[in-house]
Amino acid sequence: MLILKPADIRPSEITSEANYLNRRQFIKAGAMAGGAALSAPASSAIVPAERGAKLDGIGASRFSTDEPANSFEDITTYNNYYEFGTGKGDPAKNAQGFRTRPWTIAVDGHAEKTGPIDFDDFVKPFDLEERIYRMRCVEAWSMVIPWVGISLADVVKHFRPTSKAKYVAFETLLDPVQMPGQRRRVLDWPYREGLTIAEATHPLSILAVGLYGEVLPNQNGAPVRLVVPWKYGFKGIKGIVRMSFVESMPRTSWNMAAPHEYGFYANVNPEVDHPRWSQARERRIGAGVFSSKQPTRMFNGYAEQVAHLYTGLDLRKHY
């Protein structure tokens, strides 16, 4: 057995480990709650409004990676959320007072069920699951994040899109009073993203409402954000207030800002470089100063599950 001297243990590992033990406990609790409610229909997701509140009834996921997760500290202090500033430390500082209740999500477009829906009602019909996913930012760094979320496929099916719905488009809140970054035209606000219906109904796509078993911190996209683990991080739109079922490919913020650098698909691809840097390798945040960069894997390591979505598509052209 390998015994580490305290000096060899990085603070990030200690945080990770403490959280990992908590995680095992809440997953057990979730499994027990499930067992007790065998005769009841699907559970309902309840997401408390209070910052840092524990989430109950979380199931484990067969889709989780067993790579060690980044620490809570790494995940909540090194962020991209331009509505709260462009520095990695800005969202953690500037999003603290952000109000996530009341929160309404507009569901519109080609679906049988549409309309404004209160966030608490929006999540209620679904099951909460922990999904430990690799996240690869287009800036060539990566993390492993234990999200708590609901299946986006379940959400899409719930609203019963019609055959005209070929894409799902998402929008972030537009509120320059609360979001200081929106007072500058860094991007064309509100932040926008989109997926094909096939991508949105793939079992790996989730809407995250928590991380490390707690309510999602504001800097990570509270109360709800998208997580699509085979795509670059910018697809993971935060603070979602609109979900639209649309017929044509929606415009997306980074593609609008720099179309030659950011495409609609944004699949993680070590063979297609960003015009200004290589995408072949990535730096795992928190991995220590002596660790070198690691190779980036096709579709961020999820190729077996998702490559079939793109057969026949030229991934150099459709980056």
Ligand X SMILES: Nc1nc2c(c(=O)[nH]1)N[C@H]1C(S)=C(S)[C@@H](COP(=O)(O)O)O[C@H]1N2
Residues binding ligand X (CB under 6 A)? 79-83, 135, 137, 172, 191, 220-221, 233-234, 236-239
Best CA proximity match to 241, nearest among 152, 151, 153, 169: 169
Nearer to Mo ion, 26 or 254 (CB): 254
Q: Which does 47 bind (CB under 5 to 8 A by kind): ligand X, Mo ion, none?
A: none
* Side-by-side strand order, sheet with 104-109: 115-118, 104-109, 240-246, 167-172, 192-196
Q: Give the burial class of 66: count Cβ atoms within 10 A of its Cβ; 0-12 exposed, 13-18 middle, 19 or more buried.
A: exposed
Kindly state the smallest distance separating residue 220's Cβ from Mo ion, in Å.
Answer: 13
The secondary structure of 163-193, three-state, reads: CCCCEEEEEECCCCCCCHHHHCCCCCCCCEE
Please identify, using beta-carbon distances, which residue of 138 and 155 lies nearer to Mo ion: 138
Residue whose beta carbon is closest to ligand X: 233
Closest separation in Å from C-beta 99 to ligand X: 16
Nearer to Mo ion, 45 or 226 (CB): 226
Minimal distance in Å, beta carbon 16 to ligand X? 16
* 302, two tokens: 């999820």
Residue 16 contact partner, candidates Mo ion, ligand X, none, CB within 5 to 8 A by sort of partner: none
Smaller CB distance to ligand X: residue 107 or 145?
A: 145
Contacts with 139 (C-beta within 8 Å, 6 or more apart), sequence order: none
In one letter, which amino acid is 240?
Answer: I
Residue 15 interacts, among Mo ion, ligand X, none and using kind-specific CB cut-offs from 5 to 8 Å, with: none
Kindly report the length of the chain: 319
Q: Binding residues for Mo ion, per CB under 5 A?
A: 80, 137-138, 233-234
Omega cis (within 30) before 223: yes
**Whose Cβ is closer to ligand X: residue 44's or residue 64's?**
64
Assign 318 to helix, strand or coil.
Answer: coil
> Nearest CA to 241 among 122, 161, 155, 147?
122
Q: Which does 244 bind (CB under 5 to 8 A by kind): ligand X, Mo ion, none?
A: none
Considering the complex, what minimum distance in angstroms separates the CB of residue 239 from ligand X?
Answer: 6
Q: Which residue's CB is nearer to ligand X, number 128 or number 187?
A: 187
**Residue 33 C-beta: closest distance to ligand X, Å:** 27
Q: In the bound complex, what is the minimum distance in angstroms from residue 1's beta carbon to ligand X?
A: 34
Residue 82, binding choice from Mo ion, ligand X, none, Cβ under 5 to 8 Å by partner class = ligand X
- What would the two tokens of residue 201 be? 């109904």
Alpha-carbon gap, residue 98 to 80, rounded angstroms: 16
The dihedral through the CA atoms of 109, 112, 115, 121 has a sign that is negative
Q: Name the binder of 173 from Mo ion, ligand X, none, CB < 5-8 A by kind.
A: none
